[in-house]
Structure 1
């Protein structure tokens, strides 16, 4: 299974230096479209998404996570982003529909 990084040029380039393929996007809508395309391919197992891009589409991402477990969509801090507290328990409950 492959890993794909989605985000700004700096975010994607940093992962490309480590050998991870990436997709540079300018907006959250572009990122969501790319993630939807990747859902059709069975060889993508993990999507690393820049948190600044993911903020605007978190609701849609949660819906996608609930519908299909693979690829796993994981948000990572983008370069220069502020530390943000994430309530993983609430996120998991939302994904599981509890």
Structure 2
């Protein structure tokens, strides 16, 4: 059976994001079941204390998300329905490319 490269790319993106937040000392919680636009939550840690302050993450890691480069980084062009979902979310949402 052939392995799905899109699935592998997504897993690499989640793992890499997890590593970044672990290095910050923040708590990373993947949302592996029923992903509706939020791949993980992170909890802010200050002075080695969990604060209860959460940020929702949408993680995008495929090459297609890196097509439009600027001097500051990349342009993210997602779907309007996703933007509306994130704007109405109970947590602030960060898109991670």
Name the structure with the higher strand share. Answer: 2
Name the structure with the higher helix share. Answer: 1
Higher Rg of the two aligned structures:
2
Q: Shorter chain as normaliser: what TM range?
A: 0.3 to 0.5
- With normalisation by structure 2, the TM-score equals 0.39
- With normalisation by structure 1, the TM-score equals 0.38
Larger relative contact order (CA 8 Å, sep ≥ 6):
1
